[in-house]
Amino acid sequence: MPPADMDPPFGLLLTLGLLVLFYGGTFLMSARIGHKEENADSYMTAGHGIGFGVSAASMTATWIWASSMYASVTSGYTYGISGPIHYGLWGALMILFIYPFGRRIRKVAPHAHTLAEVMYARHGRSSQLMLAGSNVVGSVISLMSNFIAGGALISMLSPFSFVQGVVAIAAGVLLYTLWSGFRASVLTDFAQVVAMLGAVVVIVPALFLLLGGPSLFTEGAENLSPQQADFFSADAFLNQGAPYIAAVLAYAIGNQTIAQRLFAVREDLIKPTFVTATIGYGATVIGIGMIGVLALYAGITPAGGDPNNLLPQVAASYLPGVLLAVFFIMIIGSLSSTADSDLSALSSIAMADIYGQGVARRGGVDPKRMLFVGRLTMVVATAVAVVFASLQLNILDLLVFVGALWGALVFPVIASFYWGKVTNRAFTVSVLAALAVFLPVRFGAVPGTGLLPLLVEALAVVGVGVVLGLMVFGFLGTRPALVVGLLGSLASAPFVLGFLRDYQALTGSLVAYAVSTLVCWALSVRSATDFDFAEIGRRTGDFTDDAAAPAAPPADALSGARAEH
C-alpha cells in the first residue's frame, strides 16, 4: 500500500474508465440476451439447459470471490507455502465431492429452482424456511462483503472514498444483473473467469520476478518460522485446512448460488461441469495465494498489521501501471461474479419460495408478477447491502453463524434425498439441536476442564467420521461410507480427545455435523414413513409453460399440488 502522503496510483478518469470498461462490457453482454417478454423460469434457472462451457465457468467464478483471493493470500503469509494449498485445494475438492449429490438432486427434482423449494416438496414448510432463511442471510452478508472489498480497493487505488467505491460496485453489478437475472449472471461469469485466470497467469509470475526472482527463496528463508517452512505444517492443517474442509462442504450443500447452477446446467453435463470447476478454482485460488508466500519471503510487513491488506498492498507497491490495472479488473471481476450470483439467488428465493409457494400458491402463479418480485428483490437487497457495507460492520460473527447453520443442515439435507424415513420433525429438530450445541462451543462458552469439554471432543470425533463418510457416500454408497466414517473416527480419536478444545472453529463445525447427524438418525430410524421420491418431481416444476420454458406440468396444476401438500 502506498504511504498515506502519496497520491493514489489511479487518477479519477482512469478509475472511471476501468469501471465503465468492465461494467459497460458486462452490461452490453447481458443486454444482448435480454427478452422483451422475459420468462420467469429462465430468469431463475435459464431453462435448465445451460451448456458445458458457460456452466463450468459460472461455477468457477461463483466459487471464487474477492474474499477467497484475499484469504488465500493471507493464508500464504500466515502459514507459509502450505497455506494456499490448504485453502485452495480443499475448496476445489469440495466442488468435486458435491457433484454426485447434485446428480441425485436433479434426478428427483429436474425442474426445481431452489433447494428450499425441494425441501418444501419433501418435508414441508419448516425445512423450507430453514434453508431459505439461511440463504437470505448468507447471500446478503456475502453481497455486503463483496461490496466492502470493492469499496476498499477503489478507495486505496483511486481518489474515490470508500462509500463512493461501494456505491459504484453495487450499481455496476445491479446494472447488468437486473434485467435478465440468472442468465446475465452465468453469461458474464464466463468472461469474468477468463479475465481472472488470465490475470493470475500474468500477475503472479510478474510479482515473483519483481520481488527478486529465484534468489528470493534463499535470501528470504530466514523470514519463515519452522512451521511456515514446513510443507506438512500441523498449524496450517489445524487452523486452515481442517476447518475449511468442514466449512466448504456445508457451503456447497446448503448455498443457493451453487444449487441454482445445479438446476440450470443440462443434467448430462453435471459431472464434467463440476470436474472442470474443481480444476479452475484450485488453479486460480492457489495461484493467487502464492503472492502471500512471496510477501512472507520478501519480509513485507502488512499495512496496519492486518494481513488482509497484503494483496492490494503488494500490488500497489510493486506492479507497474498496466499490470496494476489488470489486477484491479481481476479483483472487480471476482467480487462481481459472486455478487451477481447472490442477487440471482435472492431473487430466486423470493420468486419460488416466497411468492411461488407462499403468496400465490392458492390462486395460481402470475409469471409477470413473479418477475417483478425477483427484480424488486435485487434492488432491495442491493440497497440493504450498500447501507450495511457503508457502515463497515464486522461481519465475521454473522458469517460464522451462517456457516454453522449450513453445517447443521448438511446431513439432514443429504439424507432427505436418499432415505425415505427422514421426516420433517427429524429434519427440524436435528438442525435446531446442532445449532444449540454449536454456538456455545464456537464462542468459548464451554469450560476448558472437566467432563463437558471431553463430551464435546467426543462429538467432534463423531463429526470427523460424518464428514469423511459423507464424502465417500456420494461416490461409493452406504457401506463404504460407514466403514470410512468409522475408521476415520477411530483413527482421529487419539489426536482429538484432550487436544482439539483449543481449536474452537474446527471443534464447533465438527460438533454441528455430529449432533445433526445423530439426532436426525435417531428420530428417523424407527419412523414408519417411506417417502416416494417421485413425489418431489410432481410437486416441483416450472412456473410458466410457454415455448421458452422446458416441458412441465401447467402452473395451475403445480399450484394445486403444492396447495394439497
* 363-392 pLDDT tens trace: 577 778 888 999 999 999 999 999 988 776
DSSP label of 9: S
Predicted pLDDT of residue 39: 75
Predicted pLDDT of residue 550: 34
Residue finishing a domain among 392, 417, 436: 392
Do the domain assignments include residue 304?
A: yes
Do the domain assignments include residue 552?
A: no
Q: Are residues 274 and 146 in the same domain?
A: yes
Do the domain assignments include residue 536?
A: no
- Cell numbers placing 500: 482439539
Number of domains in the chain: 2
Spatial distance between the Cα atoms of 55 and 63, rounded to a whole number of angstroms: 12
Q: 397: pLDDT confidence band, cut at 50, 70 and 90? A: low
Spatial distance between the Cα atoms of 403 and 385, rounded to a whole number of angstroms: 19
Q: Are residues 297 and 402 in the same domain?
A: no
CATH number of the structural domain spanning residue 342: 1.20.1730.10
- Whether the per-residue pLDDT at 99 is higher than 60: the answer is yes
Q: Are residues 301 and 158 in the same domain?
A: yes
Q: 560: pLDDT confidence band, cut at 50, 70 and 90? A: very low
* 154-181 pLDDT tens trace: 988 899 998 999 999 999 999 989 877 8
Residue 520 structural domain? 394-530
- Whether the per-residue pLDDT at 565 is higher than 90: the answer is no
Residue finishing a domain among 351, 372, 392: 392
Predicted pLDDT of residue 551: 35
Predicted pLDDT of residue 505: 77
Do the domain assignments include residue 255?
A: yes
Spatial distance between the Cα atoms of 162 and 156, rounded to a whole number of angstroms: 8
Beta bridge partners of residue 437, listed in sequence order: none
Do the domain assignments include residue 201?
A: yes
Do the domain assignments include residue 435?
A: yes
Q: Are residues 443 and 358 in the same domain?
A: no
Q: Are residues 353 and 426 in the same domain?
A: no
- Whether the per-residue pLDDT at 89 is higher than 70: the answer is yes
Q: Are residues 61 and 131 in the same domain?
A: yes
Return the closest-CA partner of residue 335 out of 75, 84, 147, 140. Answer: 147
Q: Are residues 255 and 386 in the same domain?
A: yes
* 478-530 pLDDT tens trace: 999 999 999 999 999 998 888 887 788 788 889 999 999 999 999 999 888 89
Do the domain assignments include residue 537?
A: no
Residue finishing a domain among 392, 427, 452: 392
Q: Are residues 349 and 414 in the same domain?
A: no
pTM over 0.85: no
Residues belonging to the chain: 565
Do the domain assignments include residue 555?
A: no
Mean pLDDT of the chain: 84
Mean pLDDT (whole number) for 323-328? 91
Spatial distance between the Cα atoms of 332 and 335, rounded to a whole number of angstroms: 5
Predicted pLDDT of residue 450: 79
Q: Are residues 241 and 374 in the same domain?
A: yes
Cβ–Cβ < 8 Å for 558, 460: no
Q: Are residues 382 and 399 in the same domain?
A: no
Within a 10 A sphere around the Cβ of 33, how many other Cβ atoms?
Answer: 15
Predicted pLDDT of residue 470: 93
Q: Are residues 216 and 245 in the same domain?
A: yes
* 406-431 pLDDT tens trace: 788 999 999 999 999 999 999 999 99
Q: Are residues 139 and 126 in the same domain?
A: yes
- Whether the per-residue pLDDT at 335 is higher than 50: the answer is yes
- Whether the per-residue pLDDT at 558 is higher than 50: the answer is no
Return the closest-CA partner of residue 170 out of 143, 191, 189. Answer: 143
